Structure 1
């Protein structure tokens, strides 16, 4: 502690005073006024707090510009469920009830287990009939296979590769 309280040669403040704005308490008795935070340090601390408050306000305003409320889900609605580990919408279920604001009890398809999920982890399921119809149309009208094309570079092949 004494090392931290000792100012280096040519300096008026010790490392402890530079970091904390006051002298650290140690075994050597000193005047109690040295333990008080200096005015300069208190002013710097207030300025930092004001700057952080201003940056926090601007961050909050940026967040509210893009934020939006999700529509509430009704019981019986089929939903997709976000897997927080993988970030994929790989489960499906049916909303059973609303347990709290933006919180839903959902019965999973397949296993029949019930789970509680927040509204941001649930999305209403798109009607699967439209998707099946699109995929069946693709089956009836398969894409034509592409012909292998040779690059059109405008150069002639070397003599050893020319067909005779």
Structure 2
């Protein structure tokens, strides 16, 4: 939680009913701004942000995704001119800009209401569970007057207990992080160094196909720039596999089938009723087993030659390709 209101804000674009909106949320108070955009150009977005800054002041840090409106040269010049730090989340990793993503969900619910402005006032004047205070109280130091009757004394400016708000906010975030990590099986990944050889894969891709080398690292945001044959890509640590790592995702998708050795010569198993296994009660075990005619009676099925053999009935038996690849 930042030290003061409007110190760090998250911004994002959303579409509702065919219209584009700019969503801005304050990390400290959860105060939300919803602005309609006639166009989604950088110039239009910058103009709307300037209007907000004139009302609330210039924030210290603005967090956004890597959309063209925020990655343009004009937006970099805007950040330099107004003196704020522009931080972008890793591509294909919206969790890094979670506050703005949360603001988009809230904004879409507000935009569905019959009276958008009453709905917006209702959100701003309602205490947030994480802090125990309303966004209006934390950003303005006073409650808002809405259509709900309220005593005039309750509208007197009075800052809420900020220490208590910070403790409640930290507790709520810890619970959310713990629950998310447990439900998604999250684990800590080791940091990478410049020069490490890695592979890349986003959540929408199935295999670690792209190879590259780490050329820069942002350890605070767990974001890295990777030099590949296709250019330089920025990725979150979650989408990077170090060549020394051996997670289950890196294994081939085809299952490894290991044939256990038989404890008896194959010919002793012919026409013998095998006792049913408790783990496979529905499998019938009273079938005859075809075995190759081979002088070595102790040979198991893993010694099947790659060119195959013929059974006594004339059927050709060959070793499957995946067994040739993975079982010696």
State the TM bucket, normalised to the shorter chain. 0.3 to 0.5
| Structure with the larger helix share | 1
TM-score relative to the length of structure 1: 0.40
TM-score relative to the length of structure 2: 0.21
